[in-house]
Amino acid sequence: MFNTAFLRDTDKLDEFKIPLNNRFQALQDLLKEEETTMEDNWKDIVEALTSTCQEVLGLKKYHHKEWISTETLDKIKERKNKKVAINNSRTRAEKVQTQAKYIEANKQVNRSIRADKKKYVEELATTAEKAAREGNMKQIYDTTKKLAGKYSKPERPVKDKEGKPITEIQQQRNR
């Protein structure tokens, strides 16, 4: 699986398009010269796509939420490096100094994550509104399900008048 989240970043997208276009151009020139079957053409197209993805995007390393931006992921890497610096510091003064830097980096990461989540929720809300205007019930249902999440109400025991939990089903029904 390739890290397609990088394609949201315009610089990375341009970096991906150029070699892909070059490969497809070379493939097209090759196809004009030779007569090949449809299966061979398809294999060449798949090979061009996968090799370009491998070079530019790389494999997906960690699973993270789809709404986290690449800038936030960079900030998370920075924060991780600062945490390592705390662990590698030798003196107390150096440790205090690196901890202050880590705390600031942690605040930036949390702010960025909150902003990304807010942006994601607003995008979902606008798609739901658009689907409602168009009358697309499936899309409304899907976006509402994404917005609502997997929340389930916690089960609470039925209590008697004194506040003690009732364990027997018949007594719970009577209550």
pLDDT at 35: 75
- Please, which pLDDT band fits residue 17 given cuts at 50, 70 and 90? confident
Domain regions of the chain by residue span: 4-56, 70-148
- Taking the C-alpha atoms of residue 151 and residue 69, their distance in angstroms, rounded to an integer, is 24
In order of 1, 75, 85, 92, the CA distances from 88 in angstroms are: 34, 20, 5, 11
- Taking the C-alpha atoms of residue 110 and residue 68, their distance in angstroms, rounded to an integer, is 11
70-84 mean pLDDT? 93
pLDDT at 112: 97
pLDDT at 118: 96
pLDDT at 171: 78
pLDDT at 175: 66
Over the stretch 147-161, which tens digit does the pLDDT of each residue have? 887 777 777 778 888
pTM over the 0.75 mark: no
